[in-house]
Amino acid sequence: MKNEKNTNKIKRYINTNKADAQKIIDILINYYPNAKCSLNYNSPLELTIALILAAQCTDLRVNQTTPLFFQKFPNITSIANADEKSIADIIKSCGFYKNKASNIKKMVNLVIDRYNSAIPNTMEDLIKLNGIGRKSANVILQECFNTISGIAVDTHVTRISRKTGFSNALTQSKIEQDLMKKFDKKYWSKINHVLVYHGREICTARKPKCDKCPVNNICPKND
């Protein structure tokens, strides 16, 4: 009950209708034609570990760390056989390294024991992996298995979805549901990428560059 009362005090943002929301996404897709996953990977396992490391860490830092990680642990067996301290020492610069090392160990052991050493290819199974939530599972499915079952909602997508009036939801899962209702499925694979790019380059959290924004005349500019 306490949480329900608190949600009533959360600011409601100006809602953007479906037509204007579609215009915004179309403009951003054209503005960022090369938008793609920013994490470097060569296999589902590499992407899964990169996503675990990316929690509260920049993709740039993760991309600097994963080559060192896979040089020392080139396959799932070597990761499973490693002790957590060895893993933690390599990923320390990514932050929360002890927790992430633990998640990586538990994740690879589960994959070995339950999925025959292969990263699973369904949402149901992916979210069972330690350190992998629905957002990361959406990324893995899209990037590695060409499966679009939803929209990856991270901090950039959360912030911009509320600012543009795409969603008034308070959680990433509910924002994802709002986005899936507002946009045709053929756009789902692009929404995360273009909003992430836009959030990094123009619609930044602290000082958004609204004067340079390609959707400045449509965006309700919710603050």
CATH number for the domain whose boundaries are 13-36+151-212: 1.10.1670.10
- pLDDT range class, residue 11, cuts 50, 70, 90: low
- pLDDT range class, residue 14, cuts 50, 70, 90: confident
Give pLDDT, residue 7. 43
Query: E-assigned strands of 27-80?
Result: none
Give the CA distances from residue 117 to residues 120, 126, 141, in Å, rounded to whole numbers and listed in that order. 9, 13, 17
Give pLDDT, residue 15. 86
Whether residue 48 is predicted with pLDDT greater than 90 in this model: the reply is yes
* pLDDT (tens digit per residue) in 167-180: 989 899 999 999 99
Cβ 50 vs Cβ 40: under 8 Å: yes
CATH number for the domain whose boundaries are 44-145: 1.10.340.30
Whether residue 217 is predicted with pLDDT greater than 50 in this model: the reply is yes
Q: What is the four-CA torsion angle of 78, 79, 81, 84, rounded to 10 degrees?
A: 150
Give the CA distances from residue 138 to residues 71, 180, 211, in Å, rounded to whole numbers and listed in that order. 27, 13, 33
pTM metric for this prediction? 0.91
141: how many CB neighbours lie within 10 A of its CB?
A: 21
* pLDDT (tens digit per residue) in 49-75: 999 999 999 999 999 999 999 999 999
Give pLDDT, residue 2. 43
* pLDDT (tens digit per residue) in 114-168: 999 999 999 999 999 999 999 999 999 999 999 999 999 999 999 999 999 999 8
Distance CA 160, CA 162 (A): 5
Mean pLDDT to the nearest integer, 93-102: 97
* Domain positions in the chain: 13-36+151-212, 44-145
Q: What is the chain's Cα-based Rg?
A: 19
Distance CA 163, CA 151 (A): 18
109 burial (CB, 10 Å; 0-12 / 13-18 / 19+) is middle
